[in-house]
Amino acid sequence: MALLQETLAEARALVELHGRCHRQDEVRGLNSRQIDERFEKESDEAKRFAYGIAKEIKDEQELTVLILAHYDVRQTASKM
C-alpha cells in the first residue's frame, strides 16, 4: 500500500508540475534550485492527497469486513 501511495503521489506531483512549468510566465526567472523546491512542495502535497485516498480505501475495506462478519454471524445464528 505504501508503494502505491508513493507512486500516486509522485505521479500527481509530476503532472501538476509539468502543467505549471509549461506556462512560460510562471516559470520565467526560476533557477533550478527554485524549480526543485517547487517540485518538493508539489510532491508533499500530492503525498498528502494519496495518503488521504489510501486511508479512505482502507476505512471502506474495514467497514466491508465488519459488515460481512456481522452478516456471517447472523447467517450462522439463523441456522441453529
The radius of gyration of the chain from alpha carbons, rounded to an integer in Å, stands at 22
pLDDT band for position 5 (50/70/90)? low
Tell me, what's the pLDDT at 17?
66
Place of cell 462478519: 69
Domain span at residue 34 reads 2-78
Domain count, the chain: 1
Q: For residues 69 and 54, what is the distance between their CA atoms, to the nearest angstrom? A: 22
* pTM, two decimal places: 0.52
Tell me, what's the pLDDT at 33?
84
pLDDT of 14-73, one tens digit each? 777 666 666 655 666 778 788 788 778 877 887 788 788 888 888 888 899 888 888 877
Say if residue 9's pLDDT is above 80: no
Tell me, what's the pLDDT at 48?
83
Tell me, what's the pLDDT at 4?
66
* 3-class secondary structure, 30: coil
Q: At what angle do helices 32-78 and 2-21 cross, to 10 degrees?
A: 140
Cα-Cα end-to-end distance for the chain: 40
